[in-house]
């Protein structure tokens, strides 16, 4: 009985790092403003924050809308843009579901990794003081 052995190609044993998109910090801040204003509106019921929340939602939708064509391979960025535009439309219509859609925008961006560290070098620098203290 003859046995033939084929050489295995060399493979990497390390897993490749997760590719994340680096959204500009201004866009990340703009995404967080509408839910913050919604929370202020719920806590302080006497204050009218509808117009500032509408403007903030419009800025968040524009920021994501400008960022998405630059990175079309990230489906989560499209989902976040869609949720931000839907939140803006619901705010214009006066629906209460707009605040939930703003939270959905944050969820989509967070699951996509936009809030992750921008580079492994930064993680290494942050871990260094902990190793020196131990």
Where are the chain's structural domains? Answer: 25-120
Of residues 92, 107, 104, the one with CA closest to residue 53: 92
Tokens 């509808």 map to which residue? 50
Compare 59 and 69 and report the one with higher pLDDT: 59
Average pLDDT rounded to a whole number, residues 99-127:
75
pLDDT in the model for residue 74: 81
pLDDT in the model for residue 90: 95
pLDDT in the model for residue 112: 81
Compare 111 and 91 and report the one with higher pLDDT: 91
Of residues 22, 118, 36, 27, the one with CA closest to residue 81: 27
- Other beta carbons less than 10 A from residue 105's beta carbon: 27
pLDDT in the model for residue 111: 83
**CA-CA-CA-CA dihedral for 121, 125, 127, 131, to nearest 10:** 130
Three-state DSSP at 113 gives coil
Q: How far is the CA of 27 from the CAs of 33, 93, 121, in angstroms?
A: 10, 24, 23
* pLDDT tens profile 34-54: 999 999 998 988 778 899 999
pLDDT in the model for residue 118: 58
């Amino acid at each position: 009985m003859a046995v033939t052995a084929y050489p295995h190609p060399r493979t990497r044993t390390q897993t490749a790092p997760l590719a994340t998109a680096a959204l500009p910090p201004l866009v990340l801040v703009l995404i967080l403003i509408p839910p913050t204003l919604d929370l202020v509106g719920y806590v302080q019921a006497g204050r009218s924050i509808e117009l500032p929340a509408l403007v903030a939602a419009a800025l968040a939708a524009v920021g994501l809308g400008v960022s998405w064509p630059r990175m079309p391979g990230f489906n989560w960025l499209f989902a976040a843009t869609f949720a931000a535009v839907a939140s803006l439309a619901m705010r214009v219509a006066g629906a209460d579901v707009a605040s939930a859609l703003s939270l959905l925008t944050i969820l989509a961006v967070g699951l996509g990794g936009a809030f992750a560290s921008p580079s492994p070098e930064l993680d290494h620098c942050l871990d260094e003081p902990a190793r020196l203290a131990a």
